[in-house]
Amino acid sequence: MRALALRQPWAELVVSGKKTIEVRGTDTSYRGWFAVYATKHGARDSTMKRFGLTDLPTGVIIGKAFLADVKQYRDEGDFFRDSTRHLATKDLLQIEGWKRKRLYGYVLSEAKRIAPIPYRGMPGFFPVPEL
């Protein structure tokens, strides 16, 4: 099985079903189940406060989700039409360094939370034992 590394609070928002598109700067041909890994390093405090979340677990696998599709965002209008699904804002894009020509939306479904499993993650997708 693969895992995808996400900073908090994004990992929490995925497993809670509130974030159904994960924005990335690279495309992937992968489709299927993956583990949601909450990285040891979280997002900025302002991002945590925006969602009213604190004290989230890090350095652990916290759930799994199904990667159903990948869409390419060709312009800002296209990107912001999905804002209720990926939860990113224009300010956040600039802060987090997402101001790129190519952005991809990993379309997620069937997210499920599991009891946290400590794990040593890696950037992007990485192999983990089957959950």
Domain residue spans of the chain = 2-121
Answer for the pair 25, 103: CB distance below 8 angstroms, yes or no: yes
The per-residue pLDDT for 101 is: 63
Long-range contacts of 94-102 (CB under 8 A, 24+ apart): 95/44, 95/46, 96/43, 98/23, 98/25, 100/25, 102/25, 102/72, 102/73
Asked if the model's pLDDT at residue 98 lies above 60, the reply is no
Answer for the pair 20, 108: CB distance below 8 angstroms, yes or no: yes
pLDDT in tens, 29-78: 999 999 999 999 877 777 888 889 988 999 999 999 999 999 998 877 88
Residue holding tokens 């979280």?
Answer: 42
Band (pLDDT 50/70/90 cuts) for residue 28 is: very high
- Taking the complete model, does pTM exceed 0.85, yes or no? yes
Show the DSSP H helices in 1-131 as ranges: 10-15, 45-50, 76-81, 83-86, 90-96
Answer for the pair 47, 9: CB distance below 8 angstroms, yes or no: yes
Closest to 54 (Cα-Cα) out of 8, 86, 95: 8
Asked if the model's pLDDT at residue 96 lies above 70, the reply is no
pLDDT top residue among 131 and 56: 56
Cis preceding-peptide flag for 9 (omega within 30 of 0): yes
What does CATH list as the number for 2-121?
2.30.130.30
